[in-house]
Amino acid sequence: MKFETAAGQNPIDQLNVVGKPIDRVEGPLKVTGTATYAYEQHTAVPNAAYGYVVGAGIAKGRIASIDVTPARSASGVLAVVTAANAGKVDKGEFYAARALAGPDVDHYHQAVALVVAETFEQARAAAQMVKVRYQRVAGAFDLDAARSTARAPKQAPYSPPPETSIGQFADAYAAAPVKLDATFSTPDQAHAMMEPHATIAAWDGDRLTLWTAIQQVNWGVRDIAKTLGIPKENVRIVSPYIGGGFGGKGTILSDAVLAAVGARQAGRPVKVTLQRALMFNNVTHRPATIQRIRIGASPDGKITAIGHESWSGNIAGGRPEAATTPTRLLYAGPHRMTRLRLAHLDLPEGSAMRAPGEAPGMMALEIAIDEMAEKLGLDPVAFRIMNDTQVDPENSRRPFSQRQFVECLRVGAERFGWSGRPVRPASRREGRWLIGMGVAAAIRGAPVTKSAARVRLDRDGLLIVETDMTDIGTGSYTIVAQTAAEMMGLRVDQVKVRLGDSQFPESSGSGGQWGAASATAGVYAACVKLRETAARKLGFDPVSAEFANGQVRQGGRSAPLVHAARDADLVAEDTMEYGELAKQYAQQTFGAQFVEVAVDAATAEIRIRRMLAVCAAGRILNPKTARSQVIGGMTMGAGAALMEALVVDKRHGFFVNHDLAGYEVPVHADIPHLDVVFLDETDPTIAPLKAKGVGELGISGVAAAVANAVYNATGVRLREYPITLDKLIDRLPA
């Protein structure tokens, strides 16, 4: 099926199942510990050996020698894999980092060896016996120092253009009566997902099966095949449950590659998990940025010029952090410029992390907008509303498909009590606490990608849905079940969903905020075919037949749907593909984030007291799981604002705080009750369900809203994240 014209009325619009706050269908499995994650596939792979990764002890240089003889002789050891005996190990198409060092070392904790043994303890003990001698060379580890060497990156998939220019930015900015020129910095951040990167690999002749934690099964098949030099047809990936990804498990990483190579060497299945202390330097992270934002405006508050430049670093072949993305679409202004620059750094690879581009970009942009509002003597909400646009600011002939940004701000301001915000910073106090409120916009793209599914109606009336879509804790199982149930007129408990297996039809996968809208569209397409087949089987006109309450009806006649499968199971499969609507319309999700903080007047301790997100994100398929996604994003945004930062040892080139003791993330005590409001919206230009993603919108803008609230409470403007008490304490009001 091809989606080429805006969606009209269709079976989803009945909203008997879709749009309801249904509990996660896989919830009981997860809370009882019976959901089988990658490392727990004991039934599927009962005789797996254990692999333990040895990470490089330097950040840049060469391996002079490796002595693995003591390790090979250790108790229970089956194999020791290094670059010398691993065979050809290439790279996939998405990540730039190599899974196995040798002879060159590209970054700290890059794998230099894998020890495979009968038990985990034996593998770990033998790994300590691997003796590596290195030749260290100087590396680049400081983004600020490397900034002068940064260059325009090549245009990369999923990244904005390295440079954009509309009008005459330099002249318009120079002539603007009111100006802002500010520089901001965001640190390296870690995904810190609960489930580590983990894989079990098994070979059957020349065919490889991986049970792995991966968001994009189709990318994983492609990339492991390329990495190992085997046909894609010889690869199967199984990933039914994932304990958090946030972009950090987009496709295969070192755990999958090393498990596959280790299983080949050992001649039996091998399971590998990256120990927590290895994860932070071995796999990807959100890279640090330095951002300069210039805004010019007329005295009445209209933006006339806006420019956003961002510098980030990466290993050779890595992508830039796309921090300029939100500035291109969020506010009006005739004269515009964005510029990305990429420096070479010998740190672990920087790559996608929840809302790549928007999350760090808005950490800068939305503070700058607040600063500009203050210069103009305008309320920050009013200034944002004043500079709204209903068309793409870079292309006035391209309207937004839906843009309720102003409504998000107005609803949020009313609900949050924005009128009670202290106009003068540091003017409201409750005992020892300075109180402030902050606001920030939220924006995130609403892409859709090709996605397929297969549906099967069996003789017992059970509808089975199969697609290689993954569930990374987002509720994919549930919204897929709701879509199929709505289309076929069934209850959710009459639908069984099977996900995360490359033997199923190829889906969009989880990432880029495209998963919900795309995967459900694929299920919709397959169900349309199944409806046609079932209607004909029962003697109805497929065009006018209605499916509801387990019945197929037309005119005055009805028949149970299950009777269509009386002779044999009915099976249908289809793919949803897309036409040119995304070129005709700017398709985005929008929101507004409101935060109230309290800052201790003596110690500068910051406490978040209230948070509100108002979101416009198309049809909300399941308000319960969507709210869960948004509050998760808000929590991560609070962490980015106040505590999360990978500390770089700029002498030796590694992230020092490479565990969950040193890398601080929010805990329950840090986060108050969070409120989420979804505006009523459908977007017929997206897909038949008229829905968009929401999981990455939830984090966009949050950190800046916190920073703006801290400024309102204290009068101290910070442009360097995270906002920690040491940066505030000597600048607080007397």
Question: Mind listing the pLDDT tens digit for each residue in 372-396?
Answer: 999 999 999 999 999 999 999 999 9
Range 285-297 average pLDDT: 98
* Domains of the chain (ranges, CATH numbers): 2-35+448-579 (3.30.365.10), 378-446+587-731 (3.30.365.10)
Task: Give the integer Cα–Cα distance in Å for 285 and 644.
Answer: 12
The confidence band for 156, taking pLDDT boundaries of 50, 70 and 90, is: confident
- The separation between CA 310 and the C-alpha centre of its own chain, rounded to angstroms, equals 20
Range 265-277 average pLDDT: 97
Residue 352, Cβ density class (10 Å: 0-12 exposed, 13-18 middle, ≥19 buried):
buried
Q: Is 26 a catalytic residue?
A: no
CA-nearest of 181, 134, 160, 633 to 364 is 181
What pLDDT shows up at residue 158? 78
State the alpha helices, DSSP H only, in 35-166.
Answer: 69-72, 120-127, 143-146
Report in angstroms the alpha-carbon separations of 454 from 16, 290, 505, 690. 22, 46, 7, 21
Looking at the predicted structure, is the pLDDT value of residue 263 above 90?
A: yes
pLDDT digits (tens, 9 = 90+) for 50-89: 999 999 999 999 999 999 999 999 999 999 999 999 999 9
What pLDDT shows up at residue 179? 98
Evaluate whether 51 touches 45 at the Cβ level (below 8 Å).
no
Residue 596's contacts (CB-CB under 8 Å, 6 or more residues apart) are 416, 435, 436, 437, 438, 608, 609, 610, 611, 709
Range 601-605 average pLDDT: 97
CA-nearest of 444, 329, 301 to 389 is 329
Looking at the predicted structure, is the pLDDT value of residue 668 above 90?
A: yes
What pLDDT shows up at residue 339? 98
Q: Give all strands (DSSP E) within 98-197, no chain letters.
A: 104-105, 111-117, 131-136, 163-166, 178-186
What pLDDT shows up at residue 619? 98
The H-or-E segment that residue 535 falls in is helix 515-537
Range 645-663 average pLDDT: 97
What pLDDT shows up at residue 350? 98
The confidence band for 123, taking pLDDT boundaries of 50, 70 and 90, is: very high
Question: What's phi and psi for 466, nearest 5 deg?
Answer: -130, 130
Task: Give the integer Cα–Cα distance in Å for 18 and 513.
Answer: 19
- The separation between CA 507 and the C-alpha centre of its own chain, rounded to angstroms, equals 17
Give the DSSP letter string of 331-367: S--SEEEEEEEEEE--SSPB---SSTTHHHHHHHHHH
The H-or-E segment that residue 623 falls in is helix 623-642
Q: Which of 26, 596, 696, 720 is catalytic?
A: 696
**Amino acid identity, residue 14?**
Q
What pLDDT shows up at residue 734? 85
Range 596-600 average pLDDT: 98
How are beta strands 606-616 and 61-67 bridged, if at all?
A: unpaired
Looking at the predicted structure, is the pLDDT value of residue 211 above 90?
A: yes
What pLDDT shows up at residue 157? 81
Query: pTM of this prediction?
Result: 0.98
Looking at the predicted structure, is the pLDDT value of residue 352 above 90?
A: yes
User: In percent, how much of the chain has pLDDT > 90?
Assistant: 99
Task: Give the integer Cα–Cα distance in Å for 500 and 539.
Answer: 36
Q: Give me Rg for the CA atoms of the chain.
A: 27
Residue 264's contacts (CB-CB under 8 Å, 6 or more residues apart) are 87, 203
Cross-strand pairs, 457? 463, 570
pLDDT digits (tens, 9 = 90+) for 217-261: 999 999 999 999 999 999 999 999 999 999 999 999 999 999 999
Range 429-444 average pLDDT: 98
Task: Give the integer Cα–Cα distance in Å for 290 and 288.
Answer: 7
Residue 490's contacts (CB-CB under 8 Å, 6 or more residues apart) are 461, 463, 484, 550, 561
Report in angstroms the alpha-carbon separations of 91 from 247, 287, 704. 18, 20, 37
What pLDDT shows up at residue 159? 83
Reported residue count of the chain is 734
Range 18-44 average pLDDT: 96
Looking at the predicted structure, is the pLDDT value of residue 160 above 90?
A: no
User: In percent, how much of the chain has pLDDT > 70?
Assistant: 100
Residue 343's contacts (CB-CB under 8 Å, 6 or more residues apart) are 140, 143, 146, 147, 149, 150, 151, 311, 312, 313, 314
Mean pLDDT taken over the chain: 97
Least confident stretch, 97-101, 156-160, 267-271, 545-549: 156-160
pLDDT digits (tens, 9 = 90+) for 671-728: 998 999 999 999 999 999 999 999 999 999 999 999 999 999 999 999 999 999 999 9
Task: Give the integer Cα–Cα distance in Å for 669 and 650.
Answer: 33
What pLDDT shows up at residue 276? 95
pLDDT digits (tens, 9 = 90+) for 464-485: 999 999 999 999 999 999 999 9
Report in angstroms the alpha-carbon separations of 83 from 33, 99, 100. 37, 10, 7
Residue 543: both structure tokens together: 């065009």
The H-or-E segment that residue 614 falls in is strand 606-616
The confidence band for 492, taking pLDDT boundaries of 50, 70 and 90, is: very high
The H-or-E segment that residue 312 falls in is strand 303-314
Task: Give the integer Cα–Cα distance in Å for 509 and 449.
Answer: 9
